[in-house]
């Protein structure tokens, strides 16, 4: 049974919000009959909180709500409710820079479920950064850059690829290939030898001349929130971006490449499948613009 705790209680253990109540992490329980627990019937959002404010909150909520509707889920808690839950959990955990995960499940079958099961948890950012994001480049102060390997198994995301579901086994097994190789990420490649995305990130390639390419959503890749922000920033900075197929051989001609996700932000790729990626200028320009956007939205700048 979960233990309700008044908001604001500071806990030695992580607190989380579960179906409307603040509970201790080690006492948060999900029914074994919940379709999220049984069948991977769940959706989630992972987002970053800067100085106590979530970045791109509306975009994350929009993806969650649209996916829930498209996949016929019961109604998730309203974004206003979840936003209050987020403040409660940050307060209870004493966190202001954090990674927050919101999960909603299809609930327990039988009767007519009208609400998803839902929980929200937060943790410090440091433990979630990949080595290539955590280490800094001594020359330009940006992230040192990630190493990526190519998945050995051709990948077909299918229609679930467009949704951030908890049915993650195929992505997690691919991720194991990165772990085994001591790399930050694994790139998923279609049977037609087109690069799709990382196991937990979207991918961008920069070609000589500075044009930026990223695989299209039509390839059933996740419509990453960071991907969307980066495409807007390209427009703002006058960088020409293309959403179109990225054949594997394009990686050989890339002057730069980078990964995006809400936790790692934009992460330059220093090496792909053992080949060094020569440059990072466009990537760092976009990263600076991204951080500027974060500072505007989350007011992390000193007055």
Q: By C-beta, is 15 or 41 nearer to ligand PLP?
A: 41
* Angstrom distances, CA of residue 169 to CA of 176, 203, 270: 11, 20, 27
CB of 200 to ligand PLP, least distance (A): 4
In whole angstroms, give the CA distance from residue 4 to residue 223.
Answer: 36
CB of 8 to ligand PLP, least distance (A): 29
Q: By C-beta, is 130 or 171 nearer to ligand PLP?
A: 171
Nearest to 215 by CA among 253, 254, 247: 247
Cβ atoms < 10 Å from Cβ of 243: 15
Q: By C-beta, is 68 or 225 nearer to ligand PLP?
A: 225
Answer yes or no: are the C-beta atoms of 273 and 150 closer than 8 Å: yes
Answer yes or no: are the C-beta atoms of 92 and 10 closer than 8 Å: yes
Q: By C-beta, is 45 or 91 nearer to ligand PLP?
A: 45
Nearest to 166 by CA among 221, 104, 107: 104
In whole angstroms, give the CA distance from residue 157 to residue 93.
Answer: 36
CB of 4 to ligand PLP, least distance (A): 31
CB of 224 to ligand PLP, least distance (A): 3
CB of 257 to ligand PLP, least distance (A): 15
Q: By C-beta, is 110 or 191 nearer to ligand PLP?
A: 191
> Where on the chain is the footprint of ligand PLP (CB under 6 A)?
46, 171, 197, 200-202, 222, 224-227, 260-262
């Amino acid at each position: 049974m979960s233990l309700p705790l008044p908001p604001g209680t500071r806990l030695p253990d992580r607190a989380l919000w579960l179906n409307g109540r603040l509970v201790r992490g080690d006492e948060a329980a999900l029914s074994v009959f919940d379709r999220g627990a049984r069948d991977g019937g769940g959706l989630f959002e992972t987002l970053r909180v800067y100085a106590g404010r979530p970045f791109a909150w509306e975009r994350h909520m929009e993806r969650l709500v649209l996916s829930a509707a498209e996949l016929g889920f019961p109604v998730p808690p309203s974004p206003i409710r979840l936003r209050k839950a987020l403040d409660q959990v940050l307060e209870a955990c004493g966190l202001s820079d954090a990674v927050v995960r919101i999960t909603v499940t299809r609930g327990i079958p039988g009767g007519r479920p009208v609400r998803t099961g839902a929980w929200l948890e937060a943790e410090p950012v440091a433990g979630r950064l990949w080595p290539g994001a955590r280490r800094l480049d001594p020359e330009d102060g940006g992230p040192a850059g990630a190493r990526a390997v190519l998945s050995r198994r051709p990948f077909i995301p299918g229609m679930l690829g467009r949704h951030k579901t908890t049915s993650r086994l195929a992505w997690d097994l691919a991720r194991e290939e990165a772990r085994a190789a001591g790399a930050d990420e694994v790139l998923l490649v279609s049977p037609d030898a087109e690069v799709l995305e990382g196991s937990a990130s979207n991918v961008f390639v920069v070609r000589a001349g500075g044009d930026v390419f990223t695989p299209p959503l039509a390839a059933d890749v996740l419509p990453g929130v960071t991907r969307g922000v980066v495409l807007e920033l390209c427009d703002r900075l006058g960088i020409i971006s293309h959403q179109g197929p990225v054949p594997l051989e394009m990686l050989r001609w890339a002057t730069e490449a980078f990964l995006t996700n809400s936790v790692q932000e934009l992460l330059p790729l220093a090496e792909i499948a053992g080949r060094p990626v020569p440059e990072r200028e466009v990537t760092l320009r976009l990263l600076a613009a991204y951080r500027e956007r974060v500072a505007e939205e989350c007011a992390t700048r000193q007055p």
